[in-house]
């Protein structure tokens, strides 16, 4: 069998050789002796793990001796191989289309002019009418209320600046325009110059402040944004809002991320909330608003730890619903227009005044709440047993039974449970004493553990060891 295959291949080589010799001899350009010395350059495209096999044959010998040359092509390679009596075989384990790299380079070299107002994810106020409606819904007066005129109003991502102009017309004395896109900064600076000091324009990302001083815009620290704000106490008798924030949550996947970060900052009482009771009036998707107000025990798919945290420490009030098409410029009609909700988020001053959750316990409570609501159909007794081994019967003191699911409890219910099991002697055993003591030592100004809590909530991580906490402390 093997001998037959060898004879067949040898016959093929001899046939090819005779055809080529006859062709070149008939034209009088070359002879068979010149074929062996004639070479051409073959350029191979760069690709990892390519193998170039050049198989050459001696036409002068009867058995057509073959030589195999193998070269690994990790970069652009030039080979000189015989022109006629050479066969090149490309064997590629991960094939790359020819000229793929050149097409990519040519595409990236082009500069495309992007207009933020035409993106479907845009959430800018584009008309003076919508800006006037927004101010009316928030303050319910023909002019901005006296309390708001004395406090700082932050317009987050004002874009063209229609809301800033409307606030000036209503009598606002201090407006800070915090814009993330550099395209709008020239117009905002011009508006600030013509406002007699009532408007300040800043190139910054309000929802993602930097933790490093002297950072490059739009990454600025929180202190730069609130440098003119005097911290106010959380007083229940006369609650004051040192800052009123107007804007919209970022669209897409960042909406959930920043909505979660905002309520955590409220529980930690850091970032903006270290200056007092800061009220936020934000446009958001209808899905996000429904998730914030979703009650426990119903539609467990939408009831999450985010729902429990917002209902625990914040008043969530729907002010207005506006079609999403009002926030971007579109030349084509939208088939299924959605609505954006203007939602007022006011911190519950009495919650913090009564000291229901100490600042040093906020990190641990958020971690506890996330773990309890990762799966809302899990038995409550089994979850408590994991947190306080041997003390899961404590749920009976709160009138819960063996059939109670974790998705049936509100944020307030979990806070009462947390304060009860935190006092038992086995509370910190499952997570390790080092992790528990580290959380107890940290105050609200330490932000090293927010990334860890993000990973726990998004990925559903249920075990956190000392190595993770050491890495976070060293970062």
Q: Cα 406 from chain centroid?
A: 28
Tell me how far apart the alpha carbons of residues 161 and 188 are, in angstroms, rounded to a whole number: 7
Tell me how far apart the alpha carbons of residues 400 and 390 are, in angstroms, rounded to a whole number: 17
Q: What is the pTM of this model?
A: 0.68
Among 119, 139, 121, residue whose Cα is nearest residue 281: 139
Q: What are phi and psi of 83, to 5 degrees?
A: -75, -45
The β-bridge relationship of strands 152-156 and 243-248 is: parallel
CA angle 349, 279, 244 (to 5 degrees): 135
Q: Among the residues of 362-410, which ranges form H helices? A: 362-372, 380-387
- Can you tell me whether residue 347 is helix, strand or coil? strand
Task: Tell me if 210 sits within 8 A of 220, measured CB to CB.
Answer: yes
Q: What are phi and psi of 175, to 5 degrees?
A: -130, 130
Tell me how far apart the alpha carbons of residues 98 and 80 are, in angstroms, rounded to a whole number: 20
Query: Could you tell me the two tokens for 382?
Result: 């089994």
Cβ atoms within 10 Å, residue 222? 18
CA angle 89, 92, 95 (to 5 degrees): 125
Query: Could you tell me the two tokens for 248?
Result: 């919209």
CA angle 360, 466, 462 (to 5 degrees): 80
* C-alpha dist (Å) from residue 401 to 66, 132, 240: 82, 52, 42
Concatenate the DSSP letters of all residues of 5-74 into one string.
Answer: HHHHHHHHHHHHHHHHHHHHHHHTS--HHHHTT-EEEEEEPP-TTEEEEEEEE-TTSSS--EEEEEEEES
Query: Could you tell me the two tokens for 412?
Result: 């307030």
Among 351, 364, 271, 279, residue whose Cα is nearest residue 316: 279
Task: Tell me if 71 sits within 8 A of 43, measured CB to CB.
Answer: no
CA angle 452, 420, 397 (to 5 degrees): 130
Cβ atoms within 10 Å, residue 187? 16
Q: Among the residues of 281-406, which ranges form H helices? A: 286-293, 305-313, 349-353, 362-372, 380-387
Tell me the pLDDT of the chain (475 aa) as tens digits. 555 555 555 566 666 666 555 655 555 444 444 444 444 443 444 444 444 343 344 444 444 444 444 444 444 434 344 444 444 333 333 444 444 444 444 444 344 456 777 777 789 999 999 999 999 999 876 667 666 667 899 999 999 999 999 999 998 999 999 999 999 999 999 999 999 999 999 999 999 877 666 666 677 888 888 988 888 888 766 667 889 999 999 998 899 999 999 999 999 988 899 998 999 999 999 999 999 999 999 888 889 999 999 999 999 999 999 998 889 877 677 667 789 999 999 999 888 888 888 888 888 899 899 999 999 999 999 999 988 889 999 999 999 999 999 999 999 999 999 999 988 887 765 554 445 555 555 543 444 444 544 444 444 333 444 344 333 333 3
Query: Could you tell me the two tokens for 287?
Result: 């899905």
Looking at residue 301, its pLDDT comes to: 84
């Amino acid at each position: 069998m093997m001998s037959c295959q060898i004879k067949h291949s040898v016959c093929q080589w001899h046939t090819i050789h005779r055809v080529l010799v006859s062709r070149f001899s008939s034209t009088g350009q070359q002879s068979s002796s010149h074929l062996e010395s004639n070479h051409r350059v073959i350029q191979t495209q760069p690709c990892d793990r390519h193998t170039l096999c050049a198989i050459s044959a001696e036409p002068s010998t009867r058995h057509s001796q073959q030589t195999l040359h193998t070269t690994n092509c990790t970069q652009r390679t030039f080979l000189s191989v015989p022109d006629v009596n050479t066969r090149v075989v490309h064997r590629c384990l991960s094939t790359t289309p020819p000229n793929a790299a050149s097409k990519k380079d040519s595409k990236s070299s082009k500069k495309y002019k992007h207009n933020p107002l035409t993106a479907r994810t845009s959430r800018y106020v584009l008309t003076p009418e919508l800006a006037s409606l927004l101010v009316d819904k928030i303050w319910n007066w023909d002019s901005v209320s006296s309390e708001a005129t004395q406090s700082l109003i932050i317009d987050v991502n004002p874009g063209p600046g229609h809301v800033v102009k409307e606030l000036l017309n209503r009598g606002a004395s201090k407006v800070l325009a915090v814009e993330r896109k550099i395209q709008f900064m020239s117009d905002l600076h011009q508006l600030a110059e013509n406002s007699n000091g009532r408007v300040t324009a800043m190139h910054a990302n309000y929802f993602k402040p930097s933790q490093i001083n002297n950072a490059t815009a739009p990454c600025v620290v929180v202190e730069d944004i609130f440098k003119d704000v005097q911290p106010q106490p959380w007083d229940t008798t006369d609650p004051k809002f040192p800052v009123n924030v107007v804007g919209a949550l970022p669209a897409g996947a960042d909406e959930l991320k920043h909505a979660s970060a905002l309520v955590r900052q409220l529980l930690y009482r850091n970032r903006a909330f270290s200056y007092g009771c800061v009220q936020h009036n934000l446009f958001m998707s209808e899905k996000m608003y429904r998730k914030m107000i979703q009650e426990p025990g119903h539609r467990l798919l939408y009831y999450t730890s985010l729902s429990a945290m917002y209902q625990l420490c914040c008043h969530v009030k729907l002010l207005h619903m506006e079609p999403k098409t009002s926030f971007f410029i579109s030349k084509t009609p939208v088939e299924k227009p959605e609505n954006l909700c203007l939602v007022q988020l006011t911190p519950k001053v009495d919650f913090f005044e009564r000291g229901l959750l100490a600042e040093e316990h906020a990190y641990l409570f958020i971690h506890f709440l996330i773990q309890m609501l990762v799966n809302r159909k899990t038995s409550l007794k089994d979850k408590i047993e994991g947190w306080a081994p041997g003390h899961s019967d404590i749920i009976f003191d709160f009138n819960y039974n063996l059939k109670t699911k974790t998705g049936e409890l509100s944020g307030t219910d979990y806070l009462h449970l947390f304060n009860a099991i935190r006092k038992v002697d086995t509370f910190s055993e499952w997570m390790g004493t080092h992790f528990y003591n580290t959380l107890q030592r940290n105050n609200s100004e330490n932000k090293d553990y927010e990334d860890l809590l993000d990973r726990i909530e998004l990925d559903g991580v249920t075990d956190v060891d000392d190595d993770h906490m050491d890495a976070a402390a060293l970062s």
